[in-house]
Structure 1
Amino acid sequence: MEGIINVLKPPGMTSSDVVVWIRRSLKMKKVGHTGTLDPGVAGVLPICVGKATRLAEYITDQGKKYIAEVKFGITTDTQDAYGKVIQETLPSLDKADLERILPDFTGKISQLPPLFSAVRKEGKHLYEYARKGIPIEITPREVIIYKLNLEQWYQGEFPKAVLNIECSKGTYIRTICHDLGQTLGCGAHMSYLVRVRSGSFKIQESWTLEEIEEAVRNNDYSFILPLTAGIDLPRVSLSEVRANAFRNGLPSRRDQVNLYEESNEPYVQVMEREQLIGIGVWRKEALYPHKVFK
């Protein structure tokens, strides 16, 4: 049993909790997730099963899409609704004020990851330092915000906004919410978040844990997608002779490789008779094995 499951993670579970649940349900050890979702966040969480665990990095590297709710006037230490309130201000704010600054948060931006996050520093997670009150210098990271649209505005004592966000991997949405509040001078935190897309995996096609449980009871494993699902890499194919050479760690010249399409990508999916046999990498004019499925 191998492939990828488009799981709809419920709020209240960690990504690791979902992995443990899938292991138990499928009675399999080789299960892993592709990018952590915070416990309070719901949405798309691709889960890799069997050989697919070796492909997790290619799914994690792809872009994400979120629907986020921001609450203005209240700042928390975790930048979301689960943290301790550290500042409260009644903001004099309207929809136009937010719309005016949104373009400044698109494109390539520099982000300071939240102190309460799983980012590692000197071998420890940042949240480990935060919980012990140990000061630590956080290194900014560059992320890309492809799209940041205001979908809904709720005027009130503490105004709220619903944002549609498409971004690169590693983007902290709660930090965007926090930084919006800082820029507007009133503070803010992320009050709700759902991930609606991870790479090519969409929430409309995701499976709840209850649906997976029911399918397993009926001996129906159609929720497990093929190894190639969601991997955004060009494809090439090899003959039986060259495929065997690939499996044994040997390169193939470019004229021995059938290209599905021209691409400048160094890494490719390597197929034999429409079956994925590994990930290859181009070096000069030869295709070398990078990951091999035997």
Structure 2
Amino acid sequence: MKRKEPVLNGILLVDKPAGWTSHDVVARCRRFLGERRIGHTGTLDPAATGLLVLCVGHATRLVEEMTAHSKRYIGEIRLGVATDSDDATGTVINERPVPEFGDEVLRKLERQFSGVIEQTPPAFSAIQSGGRRAYAAARAGTPLELAARRVTVHELHLRLTGPSALSVSVHCGPGTYIRSLARDIGAALGCGGHLSSLRRESVGSFAVADGWQLAEIEAVAARRMASDILLPIDEGLTAMNAAILSGDHIEDVLHGRRVQLRVPDGRGERTPVRVYGDEGALVAVGALEPDGVLRPKKVLARPD
């Protein structure tokens, strides 16, 4: 009798090596685990290393929720050299001398590029406009005119490490391009610049220290122990409030029906929630509305 493969559902943390696209990592993990339903929660550029959070099995239904996590990066900015991709893989488009500056200038830059800022994405990015990917248009020599976007930089720390080099540490919200940050910091100094290296250290509560190397994932999967390295799905949802339901309430949620959980008080706000059955299993995610109604958004368990 053919041995039945275990069902894999959960979150896989990968320490992505340099030179791999995020899609390369997903494809390799699909092959290792024998599971097609794998998706990432935010790309890393090929030249970058660090944490790539993968959703496996049923967890792929929650990629949208997990994409909203904040992220932490460390990297290096090369000053005086601008490239068309805003990183070291691109073609040099401008070179200028780097002015002398000290800590006072760096503190000013940290303030300037912290908080809610307007940021134009790199010409080489996965953003789509008019049915075309920005990177494809840039490679064809017809780069898209990309509009500036509002992003949030929670923390920014800069340190001079050489005559034309800055170390950068960033804690930012979703959608922030560190390449754009490097480009704009160089422009603010009047000499241009690009991101010469980047490592993602964390995504939400997940840390790269807990990530697996691809060779380790392959070895574990070969021993049919892949489930041992998957984290529970709800570990990616800890920022949400939790609701534990039973009886008719849980039955309604399993069928996608709204549930009145509390009496409206006129002061409530719309709150994302993760919903558990009385046995502790995650069954859905949804939103608790100001009127006290729980509206299921994605049901993960099937009704009996």
TM-score range for the pair, normalised by the shorter chain length: over 0.9
**2:97 is paired with a residue of what secondary structure?**
coil
**2:144 is paired with a residue of what secondary structure?**
coil
Matches of 2:166 and 2:174, distance apart in 1: 23
Q: Which residue of 2 aligns with 1:259?
A: none
Structure 1 position 135, deviation (Å): 4.7
Matches of 1:190 and 1:202, distance apart in 2: 22
Matches of 2:144 and 2:168, distance apart in 1: 31
Q: Which residue of 1 aligns with 2:221?
A: 216
**2:122 is paired with a residue of what secondary structure?**
coil
Equivalent residue for 1:280, pick from 273, 276, 286:
286
Structure 1 position 214, deviation (Å): 1.9
1:82-104 superposed Cα distances (whole Å, 9 cap, x missing partner): 00011112212234333332211
Matches of 2:85 and 2:44, distance apart in 1: 15
Amino acid at match of 1:227: I
Equivalent residue for 2:197, pick from 192, 201, 207:
192
In 2 relative to 1, CA 245–219 (structure 1 residues): closer, same or farther, beyond 3 Å?
same
**TM-score, normalised via structure 1 length:** 0.92
Structure 1 position 139, deviation (Å): 0.9
Q: How many residue pairs were aligned?
A: 286
Equivalent residue for 2:231, pick from 225, 228, 234:
225
Structure 1 position 130, deviation (Å): 1.1
Amino acid at match of 1:225: L
Q: Which residue of 1 aligns with 2:67?
A: 60
Tell me if the contact between 1:234 and 1:265 (Cα under 8 Å) persists in the aligned partners: no
Q: Which residue of 2 aligns with 1:137?
A: 145
Tell me if the contact between 2:73 and 2:200 (Cα under 8 Å) persists in the aligned partners: yes
Tell me if the contact between 2:241 and 2:271 (Cα under 8 Å) persists in the aligned partners: no
Structure 1 position 267, deviation (Å): 2.0
In 2 relative to 1, CA 209–92 (structure 1 residues): closer, same or farther, beyond 3 Å?
same
Amino acid at match of 1:216: A
Matches of 1:143 and 1:251, distance apart in 2: 33
Tell me if the contact between 1:279 and 1:291 (Cα under 8 Å) persists in the aligned partners: yes
Equivalent residue for 1:204, pick from 194, 205, 209:
209
Q: Which residue of 1 aligns with 2:182?
A: 177
Amino acid at match of 1:174: R
**2:52 is paired with a residue of what secondary structure?**
strand
Structure 1 position 266, deviation (Å): 2.6
Tell me if the contact between 1:94 and 1:155 (Cα under 8 Å) persists in the aligned partners: no
In 2 relative to 1, CA 85–236 (structure 1 residues): closer, same or farther, beyond 3 Å?
same
Amino acid at match of 1:214: A
Structure 1 position 137, deviation (Å): 2.2
1:212-249 superposed Cα distances (whole Å, 9 cap, x missing partner): 12222333332100110121211101104321221112
Matches of 2:129 and 2:280, distance apart in 1: 42
Matched, 1:252 2:259: yes
Q: Which residue of 1 aligns with 2:101?
A: 94
Counterparts of 1:251-270 in structure 2 under 5 Å?
A: 251-255=258-262, 264-270=269-275
Aligned residues with identical type, % of pairs? 37
Amino acid at match of 1:212: I
Matches of 2:43 and 2:77, distance apart in 1: 21
Matches of 1:222 and 1:127, distance apart in 2: 37
**2:112 is paired with a residue of what secondary structure?**
helix
Most deviating of 215-224 and 270-279: 215-224
Most deviating of 94-103 and 273-282: 94-103
Q: Which residue of 2 aligns with 1:49?
A: 56
Matched, 1:290 2:297: yes
Amino acid at match of 1:148: L
Matches of 1:264 and 1:230, distance apart in 2: 22
Structure 1 position 15, deviation (Å): 0.8
Matches of 1:280 and 1:101, distance apart in 2: 40
Matches of 1:93 and 1:102, distance apart in 2: 17
**TM-score, normalised via structure 2 length:** 0.90
Amino acid at match of 1:21: R
**2:235 is paired with a residue of what secondary structure?**
coil
Structure 1 position 270, deviation (Å): 0.5
Matches of 2:102 and 2:230, distance apart in 1: 43
Matched, 1:27 2:31: no
